[in-house]
Structure 1
Amino acid sequence: MLSNRVSLILTTAIAPALWGTTYLVTTELLPPQRPLLAAFIRALPAGLLLVALTRRLPQGVWWWRAFVLGALNIGAFNALLFIGAYRLPGGVAATVGALQPLLVALLSAGLLSERLTLRTILTAFAGVAGVSLLVLRADARLDTWGVIAALGGAVVMATGVVLSKRWASPAPLLATTGWQLVAGGLLLLPVAWIVEGALPASFTFANLAGYSYLTIFGSAVAYALWFRGLRGLSPTNVTFLGLLSPVVATTLGWLVLDQRLTPLQIVGGVIVLAALIVAQLKKSKPTTTAPVPVPERV
C-alpha cells in the first residue's frame, strides 16, 4: 500500500501532466493566435465554478492575499508565459521555465527557512539540462525581450508557489483555488482585450470542446491538485513535478501528432524523470551520537 506522502506526490503530479496536454489542445482545437484569450477563459470560469461550489468568499487579509497569489500564480505568470512563447521558440521558453525548481529552492531558503542542499541544486540543473535536450533545437533563436518575459514568468510563478506555502489559508482548498483563479482571470481580461482584441464572433464545436477541457481539467482540477500538494509537501518538491509538463507535451506530440522523437530527446526525457524521482527522495537526517557519560569524581 502506498504511503500518504507517495500518494500525495502522485496525485500532485497529475497537475503538470494535465498542463502538458495544453499544447496539443491549443494547436488542434483552439482558434489560432489567441493565447491570452485561452488563458483568460481557462482561469475565470474555472474560478467562478469553484467559488460557486464552495460558496466561500475571502475574509480579512485574504482579500489582498488572494489577489496577490492570483496575480503571481495565474495572471502575471500566464501573460509573461505567452509573451515568451510568442517571441521565442517553444524549446527556449520551456528551458527557461525549467529554472523554476532552482528559483523556488532559493526563495524557500530565504522565506521558509528550508535547507538548501547541494543535491537540490544539482538536481535542478539536471532538470534544466534534461528539458533542454528534450525540447531545444540547435537552430533556436534568442530574443532579448522573449527571454526576459520567460524568465519573469518563472520568477513570478516561483514566488507565488513559495507564498502559497507561507500563507496557509484557513479556507477549504477549493475555495482558495477559486479565489486565485478569479483574481488571475480578472487581471488577464484587460490584457487579452488590449493585445488580442474583442472575442471572436463565433466559436466552433472544437473551440468550445477545447476551452471546456482547459477550464475544467487544465485549471479547476489541475490547480486544486497543485495547491493540495503545496499544503502537504515542500514547495521545492512540488515545483520539480512541474518538469513533467514538457515530457507529457513531447510524448503527446510523438503519439498523436506523429512528431519525430530523436535519441537526444529520449535521453533528455530520461534525465528529467530521474531528476523528478531524485528530488522527491527524503533528505536523510544527520545522525547524532549520544554523548558518552563522564563518571563523576568522588
Structure 2
Amino acid sequence: MTQAPALTFRALSEMLLLAAIWGASFLSIKLALDELPVLTLVAHRVVWATLILWAYVLIRGLPVPRAPRVWGALIVMGLLNNAIPFALMAWGQQYIETGLTSIFNAGTAVFGVLVAAAVFADERLTTRRLAGVLIAFAGVAVAIGLEALAQFDIRSAAQLAVLLGALSYAVAAAWARKHLSGLPPQIAAMGMLTGSSLILLPLAYVVDGGITLPHTTQGIGAVAYFAVLGTALAYLLYYRVLAVAGSGNAMLVTLMIPPVAITLGWLVLDERLAPSVFVGFGLLAVGLLLLNPPAALVRALGRPRAADPSS
C-alpha cells in the first residue's frame, strides 16, 4: 500500500481558492436567474466554458479524440454531469436559499458511494461507509426540515430538484470511471462540455423561445463569472488539486463550499437559514468525512490507505 498524498500548504491554498470560486458560483447563478430563464442560463454556462476549454486544449496541443464511441460517451457525460444537474439546481435555486443549495450539492459524495457500490465490485459498502451514508442522509433530512417532509410544496420540489442534481453528478462519476478513464482530465472536461452545449443550445432555444443575453451589468458579470471562473477555470483547477492532493483530501473542497455560499448569500442577498440547516450541514460533514477521510485523518488514526486510482 502506498501513502496518500500529503496536504501541502500550496495544495490547501488551491483547495481554498477552488471552494471560494465554486461557493461564489451559487450566488452568481442566483443573480443571473433574475434576468435569464433556467435553460438559457445553463446554456450560457456550458457554451462559454466550452469555448475556453477548446482554446486551452488547442493551445496546449492536447490530443483531441476522434473515435465516435468516445464522443458518444462524452455526450452522455455532458448530459449527466452538466445539462441535468446544472438545470435542476438552477431551477431549484429560484425557490431556496443559495447556501442551502450548496449544502444539498455536497450530497453528491454520498450518492456517489451508493452508485459506485451498485455498479462496481470493488466499491463495496463497508460498515464505516454505511454509517457515513446514514449520518449524511440524516443531515440532509434535518437541513430540509420536518415541515418540508410533512407537506410537499414548491420549496420542497426545489430541494428535491437539487438533490436529484446531486444524484446525477454521482451517476456521471460512475459513467466517467466506466467509459472515460483513459482520457486526460482536460480533454474529458472539454468533451463533456461540448456534449452538454450540443444538448442545451437547441433545447434552450425551443423551450425559452431563443437565446437571450442578460441586460444589466450585474447579469453580464454573473454569467461571465459562473461560465469562465465557476466552470471552465474551476474544472482545470479541480483536476490540478486532485492530482496534487489526492481524492481524499480534495473531497474537503465539498465541505468548504457551503460556508462560502452561505456567507455570500447572507451578505449580498440577506438570506437567513434556520438553525436546523446548520445542524444538518454538521451531520452531513461528519458523514462525508466517514465516507472519504482525508489523508491527515487516516494517518492520525494510524491506518494505511491505498492510493486512489484517480489521483
Shorter-chain TM-score tier: 0.7 to 0.9
Moved more, 69-78 or 169-178: 169-178
Q: Retained in 2: the 8 A contact 1:30–1:210? A: no
Q: Residue 280 of structure 1 aligns with which residue? A: 293
How far apart in 1 are the matches of 2:226 and 2:160? 26
What SS does the aligned partner of 1:198 have?
Answer: coil
What SS does the aligned partner of 1:39 have?
Answer: helix
Q: Does 1:58 align with 2:70?
A: no
Structure 1 or 2, whichever has the larger Rg, is 1
Amino acid at match of 2:83: G
Unaligned runs of 5+ residues in structure 1 are: 287-298
What SS does the aligned partner of 2:7 have?
Answer: helix
Q: Residue 7 of structure 2 aligns with which residue? A: 6
Q: Retained in 1: the 8 A contact 2:105–2:162? A: yes
Aligned counterparts, 1:248-287, within 5 A? 248-260=260-272, 262-278=274-290, 279-281=292-294, 284=303
Equivalent position to 1:116, from 113, 125, 129: 125
Q: Retained in 1: the 8 A contact 2:50–2:193? A: yes
Equivalent position to 1:164, from 167, 176, 185: 176
Change (3 A) 1:64 1:262: closer
Aligned counterparts, 1:134-283, within 5 A? 134=143, 136-137=144-145, 139-140=147-148, 141-142=151-152, 149-150=161-162, 152-200=164-212, 203-227=215-239, 233=246, 241-242=253-254, 244-260=256-272, 262-278=274-290, 279-281=292-294
Q: Retained in 2: the 8 A contact 1:124–1:275? A: yes
Q: Return the offset for 1:41.
A: 0.9
Unaligned runs of 5+ residues in structure 2 are: 306-311
Q: Return the offset for 1:108.
A: 2.1
How far apart in 1 are the matches of 2:184 and 2:34? 35
What SS does the aligned partner of 1:187 have?
Answer: helix
Give deviations 1:62-95, integer Å, cap 9, x for gaps. Answer: 2222112111111122233345556x64588767
Change (3 A) 1:45 1:230: same
How far apart in 2 are the matches of 1:33 and 1:198? 11
TM-score (norm: length of structure 1)? 0.74
Q: Return the offset for 1:112.
A: 5.8
Amino acid at match of 1:183: G
Query: CA RMSD, aligned part only?
Result: 3.7
